[in-house]
Amino acid sequence: MNGFLRVSACASAVLAAFLGLDFFQPNLISELGPEVVRLPQFRNMLREQEERGDLLKEQSDAVTCRIERKCGIVAELIAEHITLPEAAAKFRDLEKSGTDRAYPSSWTCPSIRMGDERFYREVIAYAREQLHLKPALAATLGARLEMEMQQERECGGIRLAD
């Protein structure tokens, strides 16, 4: 019987709360009714948003990793540890690795979407950007890399080794 009294007391308290709420805010309960019915829909929407957020986080991490790797390649190029063709080949290999299929590298030079020249141009663009705080060095390096690319073009075309 003790359990029955507890349930009755709780039910009475809930009823009193609803009556008090209806007295002080007359339209609130009628406005909440449709919202309470839609709670499962809201829960599903929230779950979808969380899944979308997780997917965006994965994509963001992939893009960030790719940018960091490209900056590392360009740092090697600037330090003259690798050549322009080697850097371009590494950029190509990075794209082939499929770490970031959603964002292909051809955005840097839309007029040249095919061929290995786009990787040369992308390396040059990254090198200039990495040295943007040192404009004189960026201009010198950019001009040297453009000249190297032109020499490659004149010596039979730009083709990266496999």
> Is residue 150 in some structural domain?
yes
Domain ranges, residue 92: 40-154
> Is residue 55 in some structural domain?
yes
Burial grade of 59 (CB within 10 A; 0-12, 13-18, 19 or more) = middle
> Residue 86 pLDDT > 60, yes or no?
yes
Q: How confident is the model at residue 112 (pLDDT cuts 50, 70, 90)?
A: very low
Q: What total of structural domains would you count in the chain?
A: 1
> Is residue 69 in some structural domain?
yes
What does the pLDDT look like over 47-83, one tens digit per residue? 999 999 999 999 999 999 999 999 999 999 999 999 8
> Is residue 34 in some structural domain?
no
CA-to-CA dists, residue 134 to 11, 89, 90, 143, angstroms: 74, 26, 25, 14
> Is residue 25 in some structural domain?
no
> Is residue 124 in some structural domain?
yes
Q: Which residue has 């969380």 as its token pair?
A: 50
The predicted structure's pLDDT at residue 27: 72
> Is residue 21 in some structural domain?
no
Q: Count of residues for the chain?
A: 162
> Is residue 61 in some structural domain?
yes
The predicted structure's pLDDT at residue 104: 52
